[in-house]
Structure 1
């Protein structure tokens, strides 16, 4: 079934709101005969599902494969497909000519989960919002984890059990997690929780000594060393930061550096 462009874009918006990366595949050039014309569009989701059509059959199977590769690399690209009479990836079609398809990788807003609501959490949330992150605050203190204090936060979760609070945040492999709470015992429980998932980034506020001690305990408790080493502590890029605002900038710089890396 061929969907109208408006339906295609509605589905893209829906996916982004759900935090899903998608590939929007569009025919941008056509030589000779082919099943669809320039401008035909199809969405490919990360699980291989599609919405819309730009040809069907083996042609679409190849496009889906290429789109999944592009999503894994998080890099848009153009591919050329042979329809039996031109250069490009062979499709088995005998229409004649070829088509070029632009695979545009569209990402949702990166999601930052800040554990804590103290002096560093506040400027971190503000800067994250400015550079385009969706921010969730998870804390156990209802006096500081407030909408007045964090007006730009998309969500505030208050739970005495921080690990359970994180579960309410619906963690996924694209999440960035900044643990700036301050209570070592609670931070340790948070680390145990997040290491069971696949968060893209896990950062912990504190000294190298603190980090080494917590990592040692995690390994003794059965966590794999490779997983434990995912924890970035001290959190942030070393810029000799001292004030909460400077520390927040150093953290955000590290998040941006991670975000811009291909994944």
Structure 2
């Protein structure tokens, strides 16, 4: 299953194809205190429509003017904005600083074919890097070779001056078991940038009243995971304590590229779980992917504290590969 991201690349392609013209503006470097990270993007149409952000205040207005000119001339631009602390807020640089912004008109500098492939990769939840010389614009796409950048979601300049813009799929958390821990974990995950999904065929547990506004699937876990698809930007957390629910989900999770798999239960419960899975044909090296008992050992006691320990362990694995 794919999830469409609507962002600057998608709008740029749509505006370009509609005949409006479009330019992508990307933050390629910052010094000091800048409100947007390297890699932040804004798209500008030929008639002055903008979406996204590279900073705020006067910087965005200046980038819009330069982008419209780039669309007219068909040339890229590398813009630099710097301010002192006293003037910082006026131009959107919170505490003073400097930013560089690359502006690329679509179809002239940024090839339409490259942008089309980028949009397709984002829709298919494929991690991809846009690699470009910021002085010339017009880059290419690579799907590997930047493992550390992919893991850290970190765009930036390489030592050779090449800029690498990381386009990762949105982080996703699938929680099997709509229990008290899940009620605390889901909002934490959303705050941390995850798109959470609750899976529980027991309607009394997975109800709107218990998880207001959240995506709840009342399918059996294996069916839900097959429908969703489990990829390298997915964390799988199993909280039911019931082998009839957890084990089928583990069968799918262990065959997937999920970056994190965690299962609730004591050391004794986890040992029995491993025995069942080994009997089902999973090698010990594969079973080592399961974090069980789940969560960092911080002495957590309450459901909320356990949720904190799970969230921390998920982020540790995501960012360090531990």
- Under a length normalisation based on structure 2, what TM-score does the superposition of the two structures give? 0.59
DSSP-derived class of the 1:216 partner: helix
Using the alignment, how far apart are the partners of 2:306 and 2:171 within structure 1?
20
1:173 Cα deviation (Å)? 2.6
Deviations 1:111-146 (A, max 9, x none): 111111111111111100011111111111223323
The answer as to 2:238 corresponding to 1:158 is: no
| 1: CA distance, partners of 2:195 / 2:285 | 28
Structure 1 unaligned runs (5+)? 30-37, 47-67, 81-99
Greater RCO, CA 8 A, separation 6+: 1
Correspondent of 2:158 among 75, 78, 99:
78
Give the SS at the match of 2:244.
helix
Superposition map of 1:4-19 within 5 A: 15-19=121-125
* From 92, 97, 122, the counterpart of 2:183: 122
Q: Which moved more, 1:171-180 or 1:70-79?
A: 70-79
Partner of 2:39: none
Report Cα offsets for 1:139-178 as digits up to 9, x if no partner: 112233234432353x32211x321121112111331100
The alignment status of 1:136 with 2:179, answered yes or no, reads no
Residue 235 (structure 2) aligned to one of 159, 176, 193: 176
> In the TM superposition, what is the alpha-carbon distance from 1:73 to its structure 2 partner?
5.6
1:27 CA drift (Å): 1.5
- CA change 1:145–1:104 in 2 (3 A) is same
* Structure 1 CA distance for aligned equivalents of residues 313 and 123 of structure 2: 25
Paired residues, number = 212
SS state of the match for residue 120, structure 1?
helix
Which residue number corresponds to residue 141 of structure 2?
44
Quick check: 176-185 or 1-10, which moved more? 1-10
Pick one of 126, 145, 149 that aligns with 1:69: 145
Residue 20 (structure 1) aligned to one of 105, 122, 126: 126
Mapped to 2, the partners of 1:135 and 1:6 lie a distance apart of 35
The one of 288, 302, 314 aligned to 1:229 = 288
Q: 1:115 to 1:45 in 2, by over 3 A?
A: farther
Which is further off, 247-256 or 132-141?
Answer: 132-141
Change (3 A) 1:243 1:17: farther
CA deviation string 1:61-104 (max 9, x = no partner): xxxxxxx2014762644264xxxxxxxxxxxxxxxxxxx42112
- Normalising by structure 1, report the TM-score: 0.71
Higher mean alpha-carbon deviation, 104-113 vs 197-206, is at: 104-113
Change (3 A) 1:152 1:240: farther
State how far apart, in whole Å, the 2-side matches of 1:139 and 1:202 are.
Answer: 17
* Aligned residues: CA RMSD: 2.7
CA distance in 1, matches of 2:313, 2:183: 17
Cα distance in 2, alignment partners of residues 6 and 158 from structure 1: 44
